[in-house]
Amino acid sequence: MSSLFSKARKRLKLAAKYVHVDPDVMEKLKSPQETLHASLMVRMDDGSLRAFNAWRCRYDDTRGPTKGGIRFYPKVNLDEVVALAFWMTFKCAVVNLPFGGAKGGVAVDSKKLSNTELERLSRAYVRALPNFIGPDRDIPAPDAYTNATVMGWMANEYASMVGHSSPAVITGKPIVLGGSLGRDDATGRGGYYVLRHIEKELRLTPKKTRVVVQGYGNAGFPCASLLHADGYRIIGLSDSNSAIYDPDGMDPHAVMEHKTKTGQISGAPTHGNCKEMSNQELLESDSDLLIPAALENQVTTENAERIKARVVLELANGPVTPLADDILNERGIIVVPDILANAGGVTVSYFEWAQNRAGYYWSLEEVHKQMRSFIEPQTKAIWGIKEEKEIDLRTAAYVLALRRIGEAVSARGTRAFFKRS
């Protein structure tokens, strides 16, 4: 089986067929710029010392300091971190942010840690990266199983290392510690803005569109809630343990209320015709719009032929594998790619970084207004490339990103320039 990173690179090679870039650009992007592996030694509550494998990858900083989340997840590994950093590089270019891409992770089941152990681990991660991160070099953020509290600990640890407050080193922090309003639902809201902006092109009508959301966390819940408010019918939802499906629909807020109280989505109130099923069964259930909002590699060659939705909105990173992508395209299913659909999170992270540096903070209305001003024009541009070149949306997004990265690389001189000198 090919690695996640090799699968990610295949999409770059495909996009390169549709845009002219200097060979230097492809040479620069074929491997990560810098990676770090560390063994984090953490004193546990029982007095024992335990080691945790940790990674950070800065993939490319041609367009600016690198940006990317940190995930605490048992199965995280170097291949996954590098692939995610690669995607972040293109995601930032798609939304035209002055950032390159990065990612980090720790192989840990954070649910099994006490809060004090989690704090020690978070601070140990920052101590392992003394010269790797920084507000002008590499700016982490939350990802799977990390949150604002973890980011607050990390920012505080960095401040103690450099001897002064430096809130711009980390984004996704608590509001009172320099976080930005609107960051909590930014990923889901960004996907919502993308979808509504090309709704007519996708031939989606709110009251006639049945929606399934796989993954009911910080991305899936906000998107489902916003779509529900606009008249979309939410018929399927899932968390990491189970899934519920009701063709008559359900209220996302009532489901989240139940999940908050009970710790699970199972048994949540619907319109009364509810079936419980597995996550895999939910992906293949009858719907018009499928929103994978959990982890990567959810739609594969094993199930792509059974996907019934007409449109797939990727709120997760890499939920559709390249070979599954080909199958969906052949079947006429439109995939709105992750590097566009879930770019709301990094966009508001950029706003937080800018606010931290300026010492001036925006209202929630301003954050939402600015997010739309970043996301909607890029969505329109990508749809235009798709139509012009007669390619799928994912390839069109990579074409736009590669064009921008290529221009930045060329601005510093390529082989053609130096050959003339």
Predicted confidence (pLDDT) per residue in 152-170, tens digit: 999 999 999 999 999 999 9
Q: Which of 36, 188, 70 has the alpha carbon at shortest distance from 139?
A: 70
Which residue ranges make up each domain of the chain? 33-176, 186-341
Mean pLDDT of the chain: 94
Asked if 33-176 and 186-341 have one fold, the answer is yes
Structure tokens at 109: 């089941």
Predicted confidence (pLDDT) per residue in 232-272, tens digit: 999 999 988 889 999 999 999 999 999 999 988 988 888 88
The answer to pTM > 0.85 is yes
- In this prediction, residue 364 carries a pLDDT of 98
Predicted confidence (pLDDT) per residue in 7-32, tens digit: 888 888 889 999 988 889 999 999 99
Predicted confidence (pLDDT) per residue in 267-317, tens digit: 888 888 899 999 999 999 999 999 999 888 899 999 999 999 999 999 998
CB atoms within 10 A of CB 389: 14
| Active-site pick, 103, 173, 259, 386 | 103
Task: Provide the edge-to-edge strand list for the sheet that holds 289-292.
Answer: 275-277, 243-245, 233-238, 210-214, 289-292, 311-313, 334-336
- In this prediction, residue 1 carries a pLDDT of 42
The fold for domain 33-176 equals Rossmann fold (3.40.50)
Mean pLDDT for 128-142 is: 95
Is residue 9 within 8 Å of residue 30, measured between CB atoms? yes
Q: Is 103 a catalytic residue?
A: yes
In CATH, the number for domain 186-341 is: 3.40.50.720
Is residue 83 within 8 Å of residue 5, measured between CB atoms? yes
d(CA 144, CA 82): 15
CB atoms within 10 A of CB 149: 16
List alpha helices for 198-291, DSSP H.
220-229, 252-262, 279-283
Predicted confidence (pLDDT) per residue in 370-416, tens digit: 999 999 999 999 999 999 999 999 999 999 999 999 999 989 887 77
